[in-house]
Structure 1
């Protein structure tokens, strides 16, 4: 492993100088890479109503879920390879796979081919873990916190511009235009990575890949998520459901046993043995999974048509939804940047507890009050502050918990936990909202009580995750943790 750390004098000079043109370009390129998945997810979420109606499918949840499953399966291999061969190199590879998948989806003529494309694009799923690890490696120490906070808060940039872009494309060109825009966005991200972002010099030792461990971990977690996703269709006590969920859990247990004995484990179990690490992963995984999963229910609520006696959606256009959510997005950006700066002075656990509480309260309120623009916008202020704090703190808390050479593995593990929990929560939420659904011409429509119960589920998960912050021990402050500087 090679680790190049700035001297205190260099760090101080970089901190005084601010980002500068070069680091600003790198930050913008990494921001695009970090939010590309979110942009595609946002546009896909907005388009799912049209897709469900066009293909007459009640299985629209798999439009987003299949990519998540592939991402979970691939994450152990991708983060391990990134640690050995270079984070930028692996980012370029998985972005190329994402571009191929987007192309397949864009030219698809049936729902099955569309899902194949989304599955291939799922290999891009672990990108956020590699982006955060690169940020720690390529920025000067004094800029790591603000950069990480900005990257986390990039969700706000996405939420601000994404809905307008999505609304324009969806309203004027339909879901097919959205699919083709995914191709364009991924291609731009690939070019930015190739020509702007430097490679990290931080490396793990080149050791044999633990294929068995990777298959057990990735396959086991994917099996659990798939079993939960099919549980309603198969029946929760059916042999298939029990086999996938039980088999996946057994595979994860066997993975733990195997990793204790192999010379070069895919994921060092000792890493998760540290309380600061496993508690941080658990808490951030729960809160972030609920945060992202509730967004899909919100989009169904506002974009599904209003049909008396059949559907209690608000029937907004994608463009109207963009205007309503814009103030909340601006707030999220501002709060996330401010949180990245505050994390250098205030215990990150205190900040996360504050953000989690506000987020849980906001989601709980929206479960009861979501009939008018005024209700959604005013409650969005509470949620926006909470979201901004949470998304900025996740990468910062991982940095505070792991060493530079463990950053890719650490982000990968947190991303896997979040991905599995998000997949499970999404499927459980669809089970909850489907209890009072109506199916017409192969399309499921939901009543108001269904949406309320879905939001309450997510509010409860965020609240539990926030309470579990008490398990996280105090770590070094952000300014005291070592970073690798390779730019």
Structure 2
């Protein structure tokens, strides 16, 4: 329900990015890009982290933040609709900065995980940023802006590896962690300076704390249970208890959402075929693509130790050089997809991207021993990734109204987040199955890397098949946008 007291004056639709549009886009781009920046830096640092702290629980270094972000997402999205998207993005970014500071100064692995967990709160900023873009940009700029935001993963991937290579090769994993502090602080300043407040609001109602705890707790229990599955045993009572508990919490959540006046996620919205099919297809596809970094980074950066580790033993800088063409492919395909979506059914773009990603990572499972192999299949999967990630916000825009945008992005981010966490956990499980533990550190063999790529390829294929369930959707030129605050 909209607050009808907010009625900004009509503005003429812009046909190109003005200086003010560019500054606002830059602020939103930083909010969205923080996640891939952190993912890239932590991914490249994880080999050193594992060796420094002598841990076999490396998965939690990259997934602690994802768990906290998934739990907090329902509350953040609801608060953004009620109190304003800029206000909420600024608050969660500030809280994330606190977590980054704790992680960078941590003296033990446990404290490091606490910091990474707190920092995960700003993961929810991306979902709110996409909704803000629809609210503040005029219609002709919504599609290109959304595609550029989605393509930030490629932009980060193009320059980020060189930066992380320099940081890690010069100062070790601490250099990467302190850069996260600087990046979050810079993003916070730019958001405060240039991002306008969204004029689209929901009516102020009581926050559904019970619903958020049930939903966030259920998703967290699933991810944690899967992460511990190999340790506890996949048929153990503890593992089954987590899954059953999560299922019960989800059932209770669904029941409560139909009984209260102001639900966290209206069941009527999630029950629409146009919405739930988009959530499933984009959530699984994008979640799988963001999980592949686990395999690629450990393959490249883990040392080569006969009969112990089959990593390529590259430096972070060398890995950046090899993967730079892949990042360029992601950026170019993401931008092209944003332009094409004005005239082409976005389902076709999402499906085509999924096919390319599936083929690319299927090839990767067989050939990943040289830089030439990685570049060859990386260009195929990179084009697919760019098409998929840029199609996600476009399909959400087409599926929901401007008033539902934050909820739609939040729901998609939750599905994608839990898919990413679960797939990443399973990747670690599969890679470790044939691996070796030396001096408390987990190392991986070639068969483990192959299994990881096969899992990602299979999940991309499943996400592509789910595209067939999505009913005909609107092109970007046909959808309703927000109130063009700039």
TM-score range, shorter chain: over 0.9
Question: 2 CA distance for matches of 1:387 and 1:76?
Answer: 26
Structure 2 counterpart of 1:223, from 212, 221, 226:
221
1:302-451 equivalent positions in 2, closer than 5 A: 302-451=300-449
Give the aligned length. 482
Question: 1 CA distance for matches of 2:325 and 2:286?
Answer: 21
> Is the 2:364–2:453 Cα contact (8 Å) retained in structure 1?
yes
Question: 1 CA distance for matches of 2:98 and 2:158?
Answer: 27
Q: Which residue of 1 aligns with 2:33?
A: 35
1:123-134 equivalent positions in 2, closer than 5 A: 123-134=121-132
Q: Which residue of 1 aligns with 2:160?
A: 162
* Aligned residues: CA RMSD: 1.1
- Which structure 2 segments of 5+ residues have no match? none
Residues 249-295 of structure 1, C-alpha deviations (whole Å, 9 max, x = no match): 11011100111111111110111110010000000000011101111
> Is the 1:141–1:483 Cα contact (8 Å) retained in structure 2?
yes
Q: Offset of 1:406 from its aligned partner?
A: 0.7
* TM-score normalized with structure 1 length: 0.97
1:29-428 equivalent positions in 2, closer than 5 A: 29-428=27-426
Question: 2 CA distance for matches of 1:450 and 1:331?
Answer: 27
- SS at the partner of 2:324? helix
- SS at the partner of 1:220? helix
Q: Offset of 1:477 from its aligned partner?
A: 1.9
Q: Offset of 1:375 from its aligned partner?
A: 1.0
- SS at the partner of 1:126? helix
Q: Offset of 1:476 from its aligned partner?
A: 2.1
Residues 409-453 of structure 1, C-alpha deviations (whole Å, 9 max, x = no match): 110000001111111111111111111010000001111011001
> Is the 2:154–2:330 Cα contact (8 Å) retained in structure 1?
yes
> Is the 2:8–2:199 Cα contact (8 Å) retained in structure 1?
no
Structure 2 counterpart of 1:10, from 9, 12, 16:
12
Q: Offset of 1:308 from its aligned partner?
A: 1.1
> Is the 1:6–1:140 Cα contact (8 Å) retained in structure 2?
no
Q: Offset of 1:4 from its aligned partner?
A: 5.8
* TM-score normalized with structure 2 length: 0.98
> Is the 1:216–1:254 Cα contact (8 Å) retained in structure 2?
yes
Q: Offset of 1:486 from its aligned partner?
A: 1.6
> Is the 2:329–2:386 Cα contact (8 Å) retained in structure 1?
yes
Q: Offset of 1:6 from its aligned partner?
A: 8.4
- SS at the partner of 2:57? coil
Question: 2 CA distance for matches of 1:5 and 1:156?
Answer: 35
> Is the 1:6–1:141 Cα contact (8 Å) retained in structure 2?
no
> Is the 1:19–1:143 Cα contact (8 Å) retained in structure 2?
yes
Question: 2 CA distance for matches of 1:239 and 1:151?
Answer: 43
> Is the 1:280–1:397 Cα contact (8 Å) retained in structure 2?
yes
> Is the 1:290–1:461 Cα contact (8 Å) retained in structure 2?
yes
> Is the 2:362–2:453 Cα contact (8 Å) retained in structure 1?
yes
